[in-house]
Structure 1
Amino acid sequence: MARYLDVHPVDPQPRLIGQAVAMLREDGLIAYPTDSGYALGIQLGNRDGLERIKTIRQLDDKHHFTLVCRDFAQLGQLVHIDNAAFRAIKAATPGPYTFILPATGEVPKRLMHPKKRTVGVRIPDNALVQALLAELGEPILSSTLILPGETEPMTEGWVVQDELGHMLDAVIDSGECGSSSTTVVDFTSGSPEVTRYGAGDASRFE
C-alpha cells in the first residue's frame, strides 16, 4: 500500500518532500496534486514506472507524456522552441498549460511520440510541485491522473489512496488541488493549435 504523505500546501515540509523524492529516485511511482488535478509521476529513467502508468491509465504508445519542469530554462533544454512559441509560452507560464513541442536529444526516445518525435512539457503554478522539482533537480515524467472512462482528473488525495494505493508507492495530499486538466497547446505545426480545453485560458493561443 502506498505511503500517504500529508504536505502543507503553501510551505511544504522539507522532510516529507525528501521522502517523496527519495521514492522517485528509487524508481517509485507517486501520485501528487498540481494546479490541474492529480498527476502520476516518476523519474525520467524509470522504465518500469512508465509501464505502471500505462497500466493504470490504459494508455497506448501514442500517448503524449508530460515532462513537468521547474522553470523555463529547464523546459528549454527538453524541447525546440522558435521565437513566436517562446513568447507565447513564456507569457503563459507557470500555469495550467501543457505544450506539445519537438523534443531535443535530452529526451529519451521512448518518451516521445513514436512518429512525431514530440513531447509534452509544462511548468505548474503549485508550491508543492515546485518543491518536489527543486529537490529532485530534474523534470518529473508525468501523466494526468484520469482513470479509464473518466474525463476529469482525480482531485482528492484520500480518494486516490483508497482506489489506487495498492498500485502506487506514495500519495501526496496537500489539501489544495486544481479540478480541471491542463489546456493542451500543440506548437509542432509552427502555429499554436489547442487540442484540449482545460483549466488554462485557451483564447490567448487562438
Structure 2
Amino acid sequence: MEIIERAVSVLMHDGLIVYPTDTIYGLGADAFSDEAIEKVYEAKKRDFAKPISIAVSDFEMLAVVSYVDRSMEEFIEKFLPGPVTVVVPARKTIPGILTGGTGMIGIRIPAHGIALQIIERFDAPITATSANLHGGKDPQTPDECTVPRDLLIDGGKLPGTPSTVVDLTTRTIVRRGSDADIIETFLRSC
C-alpha cells in the first residue's frame, strides 16, 4: 500500500508515474493539471496536437469528464473495466490540451488493481498513455519504459498488447488491440 501513497504524492505534485495496467505500462500524471500534462508530452516527445487518453477508476468518474448517451453506456458497461479505450465527447472539465482540439477524449478503466487503487486514492483521472517515447515499442516490462519519470511501479511483465481504441460516436475501431475481434463482433451486432 505504501507504493500507492507514494504514487499519489507524486501525482499531487504534478509529477510523472509509470504504472502497470492490464495491457502495457502507462505514464500517469494529473489529468486536470496543465503543468503535469505538458510534462507528459515532453517526456514522450509527443506532438502537442495529438490527444492523450486518461484513466478513471469507475463509471462515476467517467461521467464527470465525458458525455455518454445510452448506446455508449451499453458498450462501456460491457467492456470496461478492461483493455479498451473509449473515445467520447469531453466535458469542459478536461483540459483542451488532452483532446488535441478535437473535443473528444479517450478514456480507460484498466482492469488492474494497482492502477485502480492509484486513481481511486488520487480521486481524479490520470493520463493513460504508454510509458515510452512517442512511436516506440509498447512497454511490457519496467526495463522497456523509456520515459523520464518520478516514480516507477514494477508490476512485472504485462500482456504487452495495447488497448483497442473505439470511437463510440461513430462506433468504429480506431486502433486494434486487445479483444479487438470480440469488440468488432459486438459493434456489428448493434
Q: TM-score, normalised by structure 1?
A: 0.82
Aligned to 1:31: 18
- For the residue of structure 2 that corresponds to 1:36, the secondary structure is coil
CA distance in 1, matches of 2:130, 2:143: 17
Residue 148 of structure 1 deviates from its aligned partner by 3.8
Q: Say whether residues 1:66 and 2:45 are aligned partners.
A: no
Conservation of the 8 A alpha-carbon contact between 1:29 and 1:41:
yes
Q: Say whether residues 1:140 and 2:126 are aligned partners.
A: yes
CA distance in 1, matches of 2:47, 2:143: 28
Structure 2 residues without counterparts, runs of 5 or longer? none
Q: Which residue identity lines up with residue 177 of structure 2 in the other structure?
A: G
Conservation of the 8 A alpha-carbon contact between 1:147 and 1:153:
no
Residue 65 of structure 1 deviates from its aligned partner by 1.2
Which of 46, 55, 80 does residue 67 from structure 2 map onto? 80
Conservation of the 8 A alpha-carbon contact between 2:29 and 2:36:
yes
Aligned to 1:157: 142
Q: Say whether residues 1:55 and 2:42 are aligned partners.
A: yes
CA distance in 2, matches of 1:22, 1:149: 29
Residue 52 of structure 1 deviates from its aligned partner by 2.6
Conservation of the 8 A alpha-carbon contact between 1:44 and 1:141:
yes
Residue 176 of structure 1 deviates from its aligned partner by 4.5
Q: What's the C-alpha RMSD, in Å, of the aligned pairs?
A: 1.7
Residue 76 of structure 1 deviates from its aligned partner by 1.4
- For the residue of structure 2 that corresponds to 1:104, the secondary structure is coil
Structure 1 pair 176–72 and aligned structure 2 pair: CA distance change class (3 A)? farther
Residue 197 of structure 1 deviates from its aligned partner by 0.2
**1:64-112, CA deviations, whole angstroms, 9 ceiling, x for partnerless residues?**
2112010112111211111111111111111000011111122122222
CA distance in 2, matches of 1:117, 1:149: 23
Aligned to 1:7: none
Conservation of the 8 A alpha-carbon contact between 1:155 and 1:179:
yes
Q: Say whether residues 1:99 and 2:80 are aligned partners.
A: no
Structure 1 residues without counterparts, runs of 5 or longer? 1-13
Q: Which residue identity lines up with residue 117 of structure 2 in the other structure?
A: A
Conservation of the 8 A alpha-carbon contact between 1:101 and 1:187:
yes
Structure 1 pair 146–194 and aligned structure 2 pair: CA distance change class (3 A)? farther
CA distance in 2, matches of 1:45, 1:80: 17
Q: TM-score, normalised by structure 2?
A: 0.89
Aligned to 1:183: 164
Which structure's residues are more often strand, by fraction?
1
Aligned to 1:3: none
Q: Say whether residues 1:46 and 2:33 are aligned partners.
A: yes
